[in-house]
Structure 1
Amino acid sequence: MTIHSLVLDGLCEEEYALIGIHTTLEDYKLAYLLNKNLRTRFYKAKEDITFEELNKRSSFSLYNCANNKYDFEWFLLANSSKIENQTASSSLLISSETKTYLIPEKKKVDFFIKISGSVQYNFIADTIHKIKTIDQVITSYAIDKDTLKSKDFLIF
């Protein structure tokens, strides 16, 4: 009897490009400026990306954009989430803030743009150049998704 086995390693791998953005802008302002400079149409997703771990809930801002011309789906997502912790002691209410990262190994990146689909390098390079022209953006660059330990958090 012949035994056949299937290897599924490459089948579940989603094809996408990843761009990191360094900026002090709020998410809605960055989405507006990207729409203006890239001629995209980012809109706020109905639900943010949310993770719950050890009774702590982290929520990361998410914006969507469908590009019918190139058949790509774009996502703008925040890399950090702030959680306010309040502790009551006798007569004081002490408040502290905890910052959680979507991709912990890229803590300095403020936002990611994920472009789903098979994207050519020239298109990514042109997009990065346009993002860099935004005055409030410090820098942006392509990120090799294969070097990320936490890339599973980008599957949604």
Structure 2
Amino acid sequence: MQVHSLGLEDFCEDNYTLIGIHTALEDFKLAYLLNNNLNTRFSRTNYSLDFETGDTKASFSIYDYTNEKYDYEWYLIANSYKEERINESDTLALATETKTYLIPEKKRVDYFIKIVGESNKELITKTVDRINTISNIVTSYTIEPNTLKSKEFLIF
């Protein structure tokens, strides 16, 4: 009887492209603008990426879109989560804001687009070029996932 064991790397998705977006827009507004300019249909998922470490809890919003023509799954993922805490012992009730990042080594990136499927370089280049034409978006560019220390956070 032959035994086959699976390692963690067997479950990792290596077949995806990552685009970083710099913008001050809210997630719903960015999804709307991407839908209008890329002919996508991003919609909010009924789940978020939730992380809990120590006393810090973070929830990163996710929008998804499935392109059945090219067999791609697209995800729009927020890279930061802001939480306000009120210090109850303070008489002035001042709030402190904590910011948690999904991918800490890319703190300047506000959102990621993860495109799962066989990479089509021409489609990715056109997508990045069209995203860069949207007003209120500072810039967008492709990111090599293998260069990220925290790339396992993008597997869901």
Shared fold per TM-score greater than 0.5? yes
Q: Corresponding residue for 2:91?
A: 91
What is the percentage of aligned positions where both structures have the same residue? 51
Across the aligned residues of Structure 1 and Structure 2, the Cα RMSD in angstroms comes to 1.8
Q: Does 1:18 align with 2:18?
A: yes
Q: Corresponding residue for 1:67?
A: 67
Q: Does 1:45 align with 2:31?
A: no
1:65-144 equivalences in 2 (<5 Å): 65-89=65-89, 91-144=91-144
Cα offset for 1:120?
1.6
Opposite residue 31 of structure 1, the aligned amino acid is A
Q: Which moved more, 1:89-98 or 1:47-56?
A: 89-98
Retained in 1: the 8 A contact 2:105–2:149? yes
Opposite residue 124 of structure 2, the aligned amino acid is I
CA distance in 1, matches of 2:18, 2:60: 16
CA distance in 1, matches of 2:118, 2:9: 15
Opposite residue 19 of structure 1, the aligned amino acid is I
Cα offset for 1:4?
8.4
Over alpha carbons, which structure has the higher Rg?
Answer: 1
Retained in 1: the 8 A contact 2:12–2:155? no
Q: Corresponding residue for 1:147?
A: 147
- Cα gap change, 1:70 to 1:84, in 2 (>3 Å): same
CA distance in 2, matches of 1:105, 1:154: 13
Q: TM-score, normalised by structure 1?
A: 0.92
Unaligned ranges ≥5, structure 1: none
CA distance in 2, matches of 1:90, 1:137: 39
Deviations, residues 76-131 of structure 1 (Å, cap 9, x unaligned): 01100001111112633221000000000000001000001111211111110110
Q: TM-score, normalised by structure 2?
A: 0.92
Opposite residue 12 of structure 1, the aligned amino acid is F
Opposite residue 145 of structure 1, the aligned amino acid is P
CA distance in 2, matches of 1:27, 1:43: 11
CA distance in 2, matches of 1:133, 1:119: 22
CA distance in 1, matches of 2:153, 2:63: 16
